Amino acid sequence: MARRRAVLAAALAAGLPPAASAQFRLQLWPTGLPAPALPSTDLQGRAWSLAALKGRVVIVNFWATWCGPCKEEMPTLQTLAELEGERIAVLAVNTRERPATVQRYLAATQLRLPVLLDPRGEATRAWQVDAFPTTVLIDTAGRPRIVVTGAVDWTGTEAARWIEALRGKGQKAA
């Protein structure tokens, strides 16, 4: 419980704007609820599992090519992934679109994030996503901690504070 409060305190200390002006909503992942399964391979056929990413902060972003706020934040997710390198994993889960549609979008935007396809929306439902974009931040122990609904500048100070709160520091308390 102390760890959850510390994560939320870090998120709130990031200077969240008042709810009326916020472009995103921040909440904690439900206590004791494990991370559901993700689609297992990306568009290039590379296998992904959350268990294999333990030790790194993982950002799982649920999006669609028709979603304006998704398009707004995707370049900042790409930049974050490039700046952090192996210290962080950024996975983009595309929901209910055909592979050809997603591939055209990625080619047009020159985004190189790993994109996992969820053609029937099963993973999206399991992660309890009901709006796009929704991003789940997972700590280095593999536990989902923060859910962000709405567009975020992932290179900004708020996101940096959330990510730092999820790194190995203070992981002893649950």
pLDDT bin (cut points 50, 70, 90) of residue 162 is: very high
Over the stretch 22-71, which tens digit does the pLDDT of each residue have?
A: 589 999 999 999 999 999 999 999 999 999 999 999 999 999 999 999 99
Is residue 170's pLDDT more than 50? Answer: no
Average pLDDT over residues 9-23: 45
Contact call for residues 127 and 100 (beta carbons, < 8 A):
no
* Mean pLDDT, rounded, of the chain: 87
Over the stretch 88-129, which tens digit does the pLDDT of each residue have?
A: 999 999 999 999 999 999 999 999 999 999 999 999 999 999
* Separation between Cα atoms, residue 48 and residue 34, nearest integer Å: 17
**Count of alpha carbons within 13 angstroms of residue 29, beta-carbon side:** 25
pTM of the model: 0.85
pLDDT of amino acid 174: 33
Q: What DSSP string runs through the chain? A: -HHHHHHHHHHHHTTPPPTTT-SEEEEEPPTT-PPPP--SBBTT--B--TGGGTTSEEEEEEE-TT-HHHHHHHHHHHHHHHHHGGGEEEEEEEES--HHHHHHHHHHHT--S-EEEETTSHHHHHTT--SSSEEEEE-TTS-EEEEEEE---TTSHHHHHHHHHHSSTTTT--
pLDDT > 70: percent of the chain: 84
**Count of alpha carbons within 13 angstroms of residue 68, beta-carbon side:** 1
* Separation between Cα atoms, residue 164 and residue 25, nearest integer Å: 19
Structural domain spans, the chain? 2-166
CATH class of domain segment(s) 2-166: alpha beta
pLDDT of amino acid 22: 56
pLDDT of amino acid 23: 87
Is residue 16's pLDDT more than 70? Answer: no
